Structure formats: C-alpha cells, structure tokens
C-alpha cells in the first residue's frame, strides 16, 4: 500500500535501476491446469473471474485503443474490491499478478494499475503508450498509483484509475500530482505535459522484479 510521498522513495527507486529490463511474459496464457489450480486454492468464483478475463483478452483484440482502455478499466473496476495489502497479503507493499488479484477478487491501487497494463499489452496496445504512474492523490493526502495512456509522446495522457470509472485526461484530474512513471522498458520523472524525462530502466524496482518472477511461474503452469 502506498501511504505517503517521501523523497527517499524516489531516491531508492533510482538507485535500484540497472541498464537492462526484466523479461516479462509475451503472452498471458491460461491453461486448464492453471484454472483448476485457481479453483482448488480459491473457489469457483475465482475461476470464473479469471475465465472472464481470458475471454476479454481473446475477444477484445479488434477494438480500437480507446475502446480497449474503456473495456479493461471497467472490467477491473467492476470485478475487484479495493483492499489494502496489509489486510490482503499481510505485507506493507505487495504487487499482485493479475491472476492473483482476480483469484482473490481484491487488490489495491498498484494491483489495478498493473493488471490493466498487462491486459492492454496483451490486447495489442503499444507498450510505449502505457505508463504505470505514481502520483499524490491530494483528496486522500496520500500516494496513489494509476495507469496512464499516451496517444503520443507530447500528448496529455489519459488516466485509468480505480477511484473513478470515467477515463479522463490528466489535465482534468487536478486531484492527482504525478511524480514518476514506468513500464517494462523504462522509468520517467513526471512533468506537467508529455511523457517526462527518462531516467533509466525499471528492471530493478524490486517489487517489479518479484512480480515478473511470479508471472513467469504462472506461465510455466500453463505450458
């Protein structure tokens, strides 16, 4: 759970960077073996949520980018309850895989953003247009995470947020102050317009690296 912004947070993130990126899944494959494992460990509702997600990824590839944004944002905001990490995982900060999130039916702001990011990638949205973005939510007076979509490098990004269902451009989200953003290829310091200044790769965000490892383990079950 992101509690509040501290300068040490950004400094630590920049210190973790390495000049290579963590390889992430090329495909989000879901086999019968994995579905059965989910049902055994959780319940049939968990399996149904993951199956619905799989159907979305199979059926949504021909949509426009903006249609994909809407469908994916609505899916996760409607199917997942917000619960803090400490209550859900007994950890202060845990980045769940989309399958973990859907299996348990809950997650926090990082989990929503991560799940939307990987789902949109799977649907064919260019990764260069997607950023997982760390912001300060002024209405809550705490740190928050959203997914942003850049039509181009100088565009005002669209914001996909678990706090509200409507996708709005960032200049209409005065309640959010951007700090930094990242995806599987890089990390950027925020600025008021456009994508910001690139400062390195995201590979050694320790939580990102751990997330990638768990996603690879899930993929191995599906082979």
Could you report the per-residue pLDDT of 33-46, keeping only the tens digit for each?
Answer: 999 999 999 999 99
The rounded percent of the chain whose pLDDT value lies above 70 is 80
Asked whether residue 15 carries a pLDDT value surpassing 50, the answer given is no
Q: For residue 203, is pLDDT > 80?
A: no
Range of the domain at 141: 7-11+26-221
CB contact set of 216 (below 8 Å; sequence gap of 6+) = 25
In a domain, 2, yes or no: no
Residue 49 has pLDDT above 80, yes or no: yes
In a domain, 20, yes or no: no
Q: The tokens 């990126």 sit on which residue?
A: 21
Q: Is the pLDDT of residue 110 over 50?
A: yes
30 lies in some domain? yes
Q: Answer yes or no: is 74 within a domain.
A: yes
Q: Does any domain span residue 50?
A: yes
State how many domains the chain has. 1
Q: What is the mean pLDDT of the chain?
A: 85
Q: Which of 138, 137, 120 is nearest to 129 (CA)?
A: 120
The answer as to whether 1 is a domain residue is no
CATH of the domain at 47: 3.10.620.30
pLDDT given for residue 222 in this prediction: 72
User: How many CB atoms neighbour CB 164 within 10 A?
Assistant: 13
Category of 105 on φ-ψ map: left (φ > 0), alpha (ψ -120 to 50) or beta: left
Residue 21 covered by a domain:
no
Least confident stretch, 27-36, 109-118, 159-168: 27-36
Q: How many Cβ atoms are within 10 Å of 202's Cβ, its own excluded?
A: 23
In a domain, 19, yes or no: no
pLDDT tens-digit map of 95-104: 999 999 999 9
* Predicted confidence band of residue 2 (pLDDT cuts 50, 70, 90): low
The answer to whether 221 and 34 have CB atoms below 8 angstroms apart is yes
Q: How far apart are CA 223 and CA 220, in angstroms?
A: 5
Q: What is the pLDDT of residues 116-152, one digit of tens each?
A: 999 999 999 999 999 999 999 999 999 999 999 999 9
Residues in the chain: 223
Most confidently modeled of 79-88, 176-185, 192-201?
79-88
Q: How far is CA 129 from the centre of its chain?
A: 13
What is the value of pTM for the model shown?
0.84
pLDDT at 198: 54
Q: Among residues of the chain, what percentage have pLDDT more than 90?
A: 65
């Amino acid at each position: 759970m992101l509690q509040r912004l501290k300068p040490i947070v950004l400094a630590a993130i920049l210190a973790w960077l390495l000049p290579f990126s963590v390889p992430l899944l090329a495909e989000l494959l879901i086999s019968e073996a994995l579905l059965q494992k989910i049902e055994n460990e959780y319940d049939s509702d968990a399996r149904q949520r993951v199956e619905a997600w799989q159907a979305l990824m199979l059926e949504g590839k021909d949509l426009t980018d903006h249609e994909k944004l809407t469908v994916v944002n609505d899916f996760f905001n409607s199917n997942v309850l917000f619960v803090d990490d400490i209550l859900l995982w007994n950890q202060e900060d845990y980045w769940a895989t989309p399958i973990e999130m859907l299996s348990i039916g809950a997650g926090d702001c990082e989990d929503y953003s991560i799940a939307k990011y990987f789902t949109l990638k799977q649907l064919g949205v260019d990764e260069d247009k997607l950023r997982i973005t760390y912001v300060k939510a002024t209405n809550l007076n705490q740190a928050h995470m959203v997914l942003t979509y850049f039509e181009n490098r100088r565009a005002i990004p669209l914001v996909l947020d678990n706090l509200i269902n409507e996708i709005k451009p960032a200049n209409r989200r005065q309640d959010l102050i951007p700090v930094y953003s990242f995806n599987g290829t890089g990390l950027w310091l925020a600025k008021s317009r456009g994508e910001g200044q690139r400062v390195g790769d995201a590979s050694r965000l320790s939580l990102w690296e751990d997330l990638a490892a768990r996603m690879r383990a899930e993929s191995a079950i599906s082979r």
